[in-house]
Amino acid sequence: MDAVHNLSAAKKAEIHYLRGLLERAEEHNRLIQARVDLLRNKTQEVPDIKDVIGKVVERWNFKLQGNTKCGALNGLQLVGLAKCISDCSD
């Protein structure tokens, strides 16, 4: 009778262990799927960003008008660029 009890307890412990493994694997799969979904959404957003940049370039003819220090923008140019980006993203 003890052998049957020991075998039964061992099988229950094994089932418990395997269920834990299964739950961890399912959680891991959910995390991986969430990452894949996030990456898919980000790649769908890329064309939108390209469109905004294209509109900015079209609407605001970007010239540094004599400002050649490392391509730095002066204050008025920054304000104009910010306004153009804001207008294009709406």
For residue 61, is pLDDT > 60?
A: no
Distance CA 38, CA 34 (A): 6
Q: Is the dihedral of CA 28, 46, 64, 88 positive or negative?
A: negative
Selection from 6, 82, 88 nearest residue 48 by Cα: 88
Q: What would the mean pLDDT of 63-68 be, rounded to a whole number?
A: 47
Distance CA 13, CA 47 (A): 53
CA 90: distance to chain centroid? Answer: 22
At residue 43 the predicted structure's pLDDT band, cuts being 50, 70 and 90, is: low
pLDDT at residue 89, as a whole number: 58
Top-confidence residue, 49 or 68? 49
Map residue 63 onto helix, strand or coil.
coil
Q: What would the mean pLDDT of 22-46 be, rounded to a whole number?
A: 85
At residue 64 the predicted structure's pLDDT band, cuts being 50, 70 and 90, is: very low
For residue 86, is pLDDT > 50?
A: yes
